């Protein structure tokens, strides 16, 4: 996993909106899990998936003990990628106005009589995280669109189309989040070669086997030229991401090879992320 973002801050300051922006940018987002469970869950995701960007929403609904142990959690997360903390804050009077307008209770309202007390206690509870924050954003005067622009700028990302290339196996079901699905089950199957079965489409023996097939090369060229032609049109339509899924029978050889080759061909023009959905099933 290349990048992990912890998104936190005062309740009402825009954490949910920030996570929605990050999801549109291609981040896999998880919100409101107990802080103590995050290292275990991130380790599992890192082992079983090929995620490159993960965003974790954290707030005062975690226990006081978990929040006090944040430094330990942070160190555990660093084992799986570069970790940045986005801390959102808002001036007290604006927070009070937002809660009054939404008529939603503050997460600490069952413990304190006034909203102002809740706000002050929350600042204290989140202080260990705030002290480690690498991106601090004041949302007092920001709309959702302003927040998006600020995140793009502060995280060093442009507002351009992200192409998500996903390999999968038909025997495990077609991905429901795919914008395009290409079936490559008709290509020569390395699975039937006992020497190749243990490898994946990322390994040299399988790559060589498939590259020697004219049919494989023609299929790759057709998919590549289709995407090269039409991705600009989607980008001009203000799409944030496009998920292209390539499927073979088991999701270990042919689809993985095509996805890897497409990544190398497209990344000069586009921001590309790769997910091999069936990696956990590879032999």
Known binding-site residues equal: 9-16, 59-62
Please state the residue numbers annotated as binding site for ATP: 9-16
Token pair, residue 198, equals 């243990």
For 142-170, the DSSP string reads: --HHHHHHHHHHHTT--S-PEEEEEEEEG
Please state the residue numbers annotated as binding site for GTP: 59-62
If DSSP codes are grouped into helix, strand and coil, which group holds residue 67?
Answer: helix
Closest-CA residue to 160 (of 19, 273, 30, 258): 273
Terminal CA-CA length for the chain: 21
> Residues 182, 169: contact at Cβ < 8 Å?
no
User: E strands, the chain, where?
Assistant: 3-9, 28-31, 53-57, 82-89, 135-138, 162-169, 180-183, 241-248, 271-276
> Residues 257, 206: contact at Cβ < 8 Å?
yes
Closest-CA residue to 153 (of 133, 137, 129): 137
């Amino acid at each position: 996993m290349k990048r992990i973002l912890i998104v936190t801050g005062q309740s009402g300051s825009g954490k949910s909106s920030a996570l929605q922006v990050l999801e549109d940018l291609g981040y896999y987002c998880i919100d409101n899990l107990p802080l103590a469970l995050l290292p275990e869950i991130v380790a599992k995701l890192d082992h079983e998936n090929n995620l490159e960007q993960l965003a974790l929403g954290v707030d005062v609904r975690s226990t006081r003990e978990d929040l006090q142990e944040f430094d330990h959690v942070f160190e555990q997360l660093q084992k799986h990628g570069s970790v940045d903390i986005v801390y959102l804050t808002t001036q007290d009077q604006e927070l009070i106005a937002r809660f009054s307008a939404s008529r939603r209770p503050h997460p600490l309202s069952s413990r304190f009589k006034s909203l102002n007390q809740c706000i002050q206690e929350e600042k204290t509870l989140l202080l260990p995280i705030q002290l480690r924050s690498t991106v601090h954003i004041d949302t007092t005067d920001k709309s959702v669109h302003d927040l998006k622009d600020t995140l793009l700028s502060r995280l060093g990302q442009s507002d351009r189309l992200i192409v998500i290339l996903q390999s999968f196996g038909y025997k495990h079901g077609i991905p429901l989040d795919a914008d395009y699905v290409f079936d490559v089950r008709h290509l020569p199957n390395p699975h039937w070669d006992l020497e190749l079965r243990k490898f994946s489409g990322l390994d040299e023996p399988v790559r060589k086997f498939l590259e020697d097939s004219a049919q494989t090369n023609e299929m790759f060229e057709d998919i590549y030229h289709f995407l090269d032609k039409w991705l600009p049109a989607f980008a001009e339509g203000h799409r944030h991401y496009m998920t292209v899924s390539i499927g073979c029978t088991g999701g270990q050889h042919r689809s993985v090879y095509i996805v890897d080759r497409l990544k190398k061909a497209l990344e000069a023009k586009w921001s590309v992320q790769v997910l091999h959905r069936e990696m956990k099933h590879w032999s």
